[in-house]
């Protein structure tokens, strides 16, 4: 079995000490080992700061964008191999794998185009200049410049390729070198992406590093000019945020954490209508795509009382058709969970939900699977929980069950009630609303907007709608409260995390000359 190496200080290096094993979660076959013990992370971070930072900051946005374009092309050229790795090590069906790998390529391409559009500049001019005195000579101008440290990216297990790319695209275009740490259990795809970029000599020295293995000391090594972008559980996010160096040095931290995303069917969407079918399709896709291991997956389904039973029956019919098994097989629709720990966690979560509601479909019990030896693999069936109208349903609004699990909740059909139910989730990445009733939409969007990073307005006329679960690089990704309070992507907005906003104050001609503007 081969050992995955880290890429630090521009060379491949293996840790020495206790190793961890990566598995195929469908067959439990061991695939690779990793070890991060004994690696000199202080030197690796310093190398990125001293070598990668200046190299990137010497480039214009267009030149940095060209690097991203080359990176996207190189990954595209190895797409099939990456899809196979995502199937093997991630438990992804081929369609799940495309979601991750193609998402990575598209995000890099989008930021490459943004770089081209920003042209020869090396920093961003933020807003209009401001006259500060009685005469126009006393002038102010905000700028955003790349921070002088290293961007450390700690990613979750569910999107090894996309998670790597979406964070790296923003940091590199902004002008910061990156040290990326994928989640250990599914690190093979991120590791292969790194190999592809190194083999292709795509990036200048020091600009990109990869750390594989469960290094826990990394965040404690960060300094005031560094940035830490973390995706994972709320508990780890809280731990990282409260590290003494992070607090003392004001290390900029972005946390993308848990989320109890909701989908609401409006009172106007009758069963059988196009809107109703769109809603059903989105809920079913979100429950089963990547076995529900998407931070944006629909967890809470809000159904008007009058049609709740019909929705339940239709969802149950849809779930019955989902074949669970070895994701390498074409007719399998849903693969396993990523790890045994994940399986235990989801089972425990289903137990918590079941204490207050009842299962309309599925359970936490072992299931029969296709194409896998009996008893092998980290499989669970999709689970749809149902709750009576007056049930307190505490766990539904407090516990993210990170698997193919959703809860059906009844509401009166009034927007105000849907808003207060959704707000019980205490902040989410995305919720979706399916309605054409203008008054309902206006009230619900205004009510839930403060609790979300994104609101998806489902509509049957949106061609090839990706549904609420797809994060597009043009729109912000993140959410308040439970979701971590972070913000990534969103086109040019995504660069802000990696830049320092500075106000220049002085003589207008001097400032205009400095920023390369035409004086008038
Ligand atoms: P996790 O245990 O918090 O791990 C996430 C990452 O943090 C992994 O790379 C992990 O490394 C690392 N890590 C864990 N403890 C650490 C520590 N003390 N110091 C430094 N790094 C540490 O989360 P998970 O269970 O793998 O991921 C699932 C969670 O991620 C779900 O709750 C999901 O909602 C959330 N998620 C959120 C988003 C979003 O965008 N909001 C996206 C995807 C997932 P190892 O793998 O080496 O342990």
Q: How far is the CA of 167 from the centre of ligand 1 (A)?
A: 15
From CA 184, how far away is CA 293, in angstroms rounded? 16
Average pLDDT by consecutive 10-residue portion of the chain (520 residues)?
95 95 97 96 98 98 98 98 97 97 98 97 96 95 98 98 98 98 97 98 98 95 98 96 98 97 98 97 97 98 97 98 97 97 98 96 95 95 94 94 98 97 98 98 98 97 93 98 97 98 97 77
Residue 258 CB–ligand 1 contact under 6 Å: yes
Residue 184 CB–ligand 1 contact under 6 Å: yes
From CA 431, how far away is CA 212, in angstroms rounded? 33
Q: How far is the CA of 394 from the centre of ligand 1 (A)?
A: 24
Question: DSSP of 229-289, one letter per residue?
Answer: EEES-HHHHHHHHT-HHHHHTT-EEEEE----EEEEE-TT--TTSHHHHHHHHHHHHHHHG
Residue located nearest, by CA, to atom 17 of ligand 1:
216
Dihedral class, residue 485 (left if φ above 0, else alpha if ψ from -120 to 50, else beta): left
From CA 331, how far away is CA 400, in angstroms rounded? 29
> In the chain, count of helices (H) and strands (E)?
15, 22
Helix (H, G, I), strand (E, B) or coil at 351: helix
Other CB atoms within a 10 A radius of the CB of residue 127 amount to 11
Residue located nearest, by CA, to atom 36 of ligand 1:
232
CB 387 within 8 A of CB 396: yes
Helix (H, G, I), strand (E, B) or coil at 452: strand
CB 480 within 8 A of CB 422: no
The tokens of 437 are what? 């009733």
From CA 71, how far away is CA 359, in angstroms rounded? 46
Residue 212 CB–ligand 1 contact under 6 Å: no
pLDDT of res. 186: 97
256 counts as catalytic = yes
Based on its alpha-carbon atoms, the radius of gyration of the chain, rounded to whole angstroms, reads: 24
pLDDT of res. 311: 98
Q: How far is the CA of 158 from the centre of ligand 1 (A)?
A: 9
Q: How far is the CA of 478 from the centre of ligand 1 (A)?
A: 15
Per-residue pLDDT reduced to its tens digit, 31-85: 999 999 999 999 999 999 999 999 999 999 999 999 999 999 999 999 999 999 9
Residue located nearest, by CA, to atom 15 of ligand 1:
236
Per-residue pLDDT reduced to its tens digit, 196-208: 999 999 999 999 9
Residue located nearest, by CA, to atom 46 of ligand 1:
183
- Point out the ligand 1 atom lying closest to the alpha carbon of residue 341: 25
From CA 461, how far away is CA 483, in angstroms rounded? 30
The catalytic position among 35, 170, 295, 400 is 295
Residue 296 CB–ligand 1 contact under 6 Å: no
State how far the alpha carbon of 253 is from the alpha carbons of 37, 155, 244, 256, 436, in Å: 24, 13, 13, 10, 39
Other CB atoms within a 10 A radius of the CB of residue 133 amount to 10
- Point out the ligand 1 atom lying closest to the alpha carbon of residue 259: 34
pLDDT of res. 520: 53
Q: How far is the CA of 90 from the centre of ligand 1 (A)?
A: 15
CB 270 within 8 A of CB 276: yes
Residue that is written with structure tokens 């275009």 in the block: 173
Q: How far is the CA of 214 from the centre of ligand 1 (A)?
A: 11
CA 11 from chain centre, in angstroms, equals 28
Residue that is written with structure tokens 């993140």 in the block: 478
Q: Which of 4, 190, 233, 398 to mutate to test the pocket of ligand 1 (most atoms within 8 A of CB)?
A: 233
- Point out the ligand 1 atom lying closest to the alpha carbon of residue 237: 3
For 25-169, strand residue ranges (E) read 30-34, 124-131, 138-146, 151-154
- Point out the ligand 1 atom lying closest to the alpha carbon of residue 240: 19
From CA 68, how far away is CA 62, in angstroms rounded? 10
Q: What is the DSSP letter of 15?
A: -
Residue 314 CB–ligand 1 contact under 6 Å: no
Q: Which of 183, 337, 349, 479 to mutate to test the pocket of ligand 1 (most atoms within 8 A of CB)?
A: 183
- The contacts of residue 199 (CB under 8 Å, 6+ apart) are none
Residue 20 CB–ligand 1 contact under 6 Å: no
Bridge-based pairing state of the strands 499-507 and 138-146: antiparallel
- Point out the ligand 1 atom lying closest to the alpha carbon of residue 185: 46
CB 153 within 8 A of CB 229: yes
Residue 429 CB–ligand 1 contact under 6 Å: yes
pLDDT of res. 313: 98
- The contacts of residue 148 (CB under 8 Å, 6+ apart) are 49, 53, 225
Q: How far is the CA of 180 from the centre of ligand 1 (A)?
A: 13
Residue 19 CB–ligand 1 contact under 6 Å: no
Q: In 135-204, which residue ranges form alpha helices assigned H by DSSP?
A: 160-174, 187-199
From CA 185, how far away is CA 183, in angstroms rounded? 6
Q: How far is the CA of 420 from the centre of ligand 1 (A)?
A: 29
Roughly how many angstroms between the first and final C-alpha of the chain, as a whole number? 67
pTM of the model: 0.96
From CA 387, how far away is CA 356, in angstroms rounded? 7
Residue 154 CB–ligand 1 contact under 6 Å: yes
Residue that is written with structure tokens 């709740």 in the block: 308
The catalytic position among 35, 88, 144, 256 is 256
The tokens of 431 are what? 């919720």
pLDDT of res. 517: 65
From CA 180, how far away is CA 155, in angstroms rounded? 8
Residue 216 CB–ligand 1 contact under 6 Å: yes
- The contacts of residue 73 (CB under 8 Å, 6+ apart) are none
Residue located nearest, by CA, to atom 4 of ligand 1:
232
Edge-first strand order for the sheet with 298-304 is 358-361, 383-386, 405-411, 298-304, 261-265, 428-434, 452-458
- Point out the ligand 1 atom lying closest to the alpha carbon of residue 219: 20
Q: How far is the CA of 235 from the centre of ligand 1 (A)?
A: 9
- The contacts of residue 125 (CB under 8 Å, 6+ apart) are 141, 142, 143, 515, 517
Residue 402 CB–ligand 1 contact under 6 Å: yes
Residue located nearest, by CA, to atom 40 of ligand 1:
256
Angle at 177 between CA 65 and CA 193, to 5 degrees: 70
- Percent residues over pLDDT 90 in the chain: 97
CB 293 within 8 A of CB 158: yes
From CA 4, how far away is CA 448, in angstroms rounded? 44
Bridge-based pairing state of the strands 178-181 and 208-210: parallel
Buried b (16+ CB within 10 A) or exposed e, 460-493: beeeeeebbbbbbbeebbbbbbbbbbbbbbbbbe
35 counts as catalytic = no
Q: How far is the CA of 169 from the centre of ligand 1 (A)?
A: 20
Q: What is the DSSP letter of 48?
A: I
From CA 26, how far away is CA 378, in angstroms rounded? 6
């Amino acid at each position: 079995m081969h050992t995955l190496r880290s890429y630090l200080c521009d060379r491949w290096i293996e840790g020495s000490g206790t190793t961890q094993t990566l598995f195929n979660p469908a067959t439990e076959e061991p695939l690779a080992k990793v070890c991060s013990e004994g690696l000199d992370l202080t030197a690796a971070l310093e190398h990125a700061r001293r070598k990668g930072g200046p190299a990137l900051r010497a480039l214009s946005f267009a030149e940095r964008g060209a690097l991203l374009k080359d990176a996207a092309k190189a990954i595209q050229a190895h797409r099939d191999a990456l899809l196979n790795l995502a199937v093997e090590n991630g438990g992804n069906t081929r369609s799940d794998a495309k979601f991750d790998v193609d998402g990575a390529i598209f995000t890099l391409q989008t930021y490459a185009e943004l770089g081209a559009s920003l042209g020869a500049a090396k920093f961003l001019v933020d807003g209009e200049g401001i006259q500060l005195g009685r005469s126009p000579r006393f002038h102010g101008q905000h700028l955003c410049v790349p921070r002088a440290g290293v961007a450390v990216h700690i990613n979750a297990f569910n999107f090894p390729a996309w998670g790597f790319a979406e964070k790296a695209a923003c940091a590199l275009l902004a002008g910061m070198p990156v040290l990326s740490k994928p989640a250990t259990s599914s690190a093979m795809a991120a590791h292969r992406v790194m190999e592809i970029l190194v083999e292709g000599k795509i990036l200048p020295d020091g600009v990109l590093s990869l750390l594989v293995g469960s290094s826990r000391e990394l965040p404690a090594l960060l300094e005031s000019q560094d940035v830490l972008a973390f995706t994972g559980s709320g508990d780890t996010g809280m731990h990282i945020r409260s590290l003494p160096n992070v607090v003392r040095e004001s290390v900029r931290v972005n946390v993308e954490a848990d989320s109890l995303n909701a989908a609401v069917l409006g009172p106007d969407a009758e069963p059988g209508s196009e809107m109703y079918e769109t809603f059903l399709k989105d809920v079913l896709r979100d429950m089963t795509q990547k076995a529900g291991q998407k931070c944006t997956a629909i967890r809470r389904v809000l159904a008007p009382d009058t049609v709740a039973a019909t929705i339940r029956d239709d969802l149950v019919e849809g779930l019955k058709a989902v074949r669970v098994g070895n994701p390498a097989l074409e007719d399998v629709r849903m693969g396993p969970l990523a790890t045994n720990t994940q399986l235990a966690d989801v089972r425990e979560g289903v137990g918590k939900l079941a204490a207050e509601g009842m299962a309309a479909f599925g359970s936490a019990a072992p299931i029969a699977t296709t194409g896998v030896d009996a008893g092998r693999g980290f499989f669970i069936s999709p689970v749809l929980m149902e709750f009576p109208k007056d049930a307190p349903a505490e766990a539904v609004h407090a516990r993210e069950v990170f698997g193919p699990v959703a809860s059906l909740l009844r509401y009166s059909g009034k927007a105000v009630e849907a808003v207060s139910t959704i707000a019980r989730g205490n902040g989410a990445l995305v919720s979706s609303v399916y309605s054409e009733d203008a008054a309902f939409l206006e009230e619900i969007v205004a009510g839930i907007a403060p609790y979300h990073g994104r609101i998806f307005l489902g509509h049957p006329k949106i061609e090839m709608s990706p549904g609420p679960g797809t994060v597009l690089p043009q729109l912000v990704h993140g959410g308040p409260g439970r979701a971590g309070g972070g913000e990534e992507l969103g086109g040019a907005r995504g660069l802000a995390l990696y830049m320092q906003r500075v106000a220049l104050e002085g003589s207008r001609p001097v400032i205009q000359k400095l920023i390369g503007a035409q004086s008038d």
